[in-house]
Amino acid sequence: MKKNLIFAGAGHAHIHSLSNLHEFVRAGASVTVVNKSRYHYYSGMGPGLLSGYYSLDETRFDIKKIVESHGCRFIEAEVKQIFPHEKRIFLSDNTALNYDLISFNTGSES
Ligand SMILES: Cc1cc2nc3c(=O)[nH]c(=O)nc-3n(C[C@H](O)[C@H](O)[C@H](O)COP(=O)(O)OP(=O)(O)OC[C@H]3O[C@@H](n4cnc5c(N)ncnc54)[C@H](O)[C@@H]3O)c2cc1C
């Protein structure tokens, strides 16, 4: 039976793994990525965007497109609660997901 692998948050630290999701699929995992937005913005290009050097599309990753191009599932939602003993997370759309393995990269807020 396939293992359920979840990437919670598609931040800078997950981008490399998300670009290589086919490796996890090939290893027999069923992969789901949950992120607040379908886009992730490369912060280093933020000042260039504001200065008009880059367009919006040049500064962001289309996470949904990347994930689905590897045959994996993308869910646009926020991870709200984690129940590690049950290996289950609850999302802002009131759904729950079970996992065998989970990796978190939800960044920080100021
Ligand atoms: C203008 C600017 C320039 C910068 N320049 C540099 C630089 O030159 N060098 C450098 O090292 N650092 C730089 N930084 C800092 C750098 O951007 C951060 O350290 C880095 O983005 C943190 O990456 P992260 O992977 O922890 O999370 P993030 O990249 O912040 O990603 C978190 C992701 O998780 C999602 N998310 C959050 N909460 C949830 C949730 N509950 N459920 C689901 N998804 C969620 C968010 O939508 C986001 O997509 C800069 C920052 C800014 C603002």
27-82: per-residue pLDDT in tens?
Answer: 999 999 999 999 999 999 999 999 999 999 999 999 999 999 999 999 999 999 99
Q: Is 35 in the pocket of ligand 1 (CB under 6 A)?
A: yes
Q: Do the domain assignments include residue 41? A: yes
- Total domains in the chain come to 1
Q: What residue numbers bound the domain in which 31 lies?
A: 3-104
Q: Do the domain assignments include residue 81? A: yes
Distance 1 CA to ligand 1 centre (A): 34
Instruction: Give the CA count within 13 Å in the CB-facing half-sphere of 82.
Output: 10
CA–CA distance, 40 with 51 (Å, rounded to integer): 19
Tell me which of 36, 80, 103 to substitute to probe ligand 1's pocket, judged by most ligand atoms within 8 Å of the beta carbon.
Answer: 36
Distances (CA, A) of 5 to 44, 60, 84, 109: 29, 24, 14, 25
Q: Do the domain assignments include residue 27? A: yes
Whether 1 shows a pLDDT value over 90: the answer reads no
| Confidence (pTM) | 0.93
CATH number at residue 90: 3.50.50.60
Structure tokens at 30: 């069923």
Distance 7 CA to ligand 1 centre (A): 15
**pLDDT recorded at residue 110:** 76
